[in-house]
Structure 1
Amino acid sequence: MNATIWMALALVLVLEGLGPMLLPRVWRAMIQSMTQLPDHLLRRFGGGLVVAGVVIYYMISAHIQG
């Protein structure tokens, strides 16, 4: 894999780890509230994150190449 992909994965892991490390009670409450959401809302949320990630990746890669 390209080093940029590994760096991006590392950044995701850092960002994902900040919540439980800094605010464990708030993070736990958020996760518990998410378990109560219906599947279709979780799918929309996940899909929105995927689309946002692809758009950001495209914008950054286009900026680097051009």
Structure 2
Amino acid sequence: MMALLILAVGLVLAVEGLVLALAPSRLDAAFDWFRAQPADRRRMLGLGALAAGVVLIWLARSLGA
């Protein structure tokens, strides 16, 4: 279980590091767009991301990961 958690954190850091290294100005634009959204929309985006993450975790676990 601990190895799976370390793998997950490593994957998140690798993907986020890749975005920061390859497209920092696009990331700035995305943050500006995100900040311009009302709090309710940001909350719904966060809940959607949470739901998608839970579904992906469930799918990975049911496939044997």
Q: CA deviation digits over 1:14-54, x for unaligned, max 9? A: 11222221011111111111111101111111111111111
Q: Which runs of 4+ in 1 moved over 3 A?
A: none
Identical aligned pairs, as a percentage?
Answer: 31
Normalised by the size of structure 1, how large is the TM-score?
0.86
The two structures, once aligned, show a CA RMSD in angstroms of: 1.4
Unaligned stretches of 5+ in structure 1? none
Unaligned stretches of 5+ in structure 2? none
**Which residue matches 1:15?**
15
**Which residue matches 1:26?**
26
Q: How many residues align?
A: 65
Normalised by the size of structure 2, how large is the TM-score?
0.88
After TM superposition, give the deviation of residue 13 of structure 1 in Å: 1.3
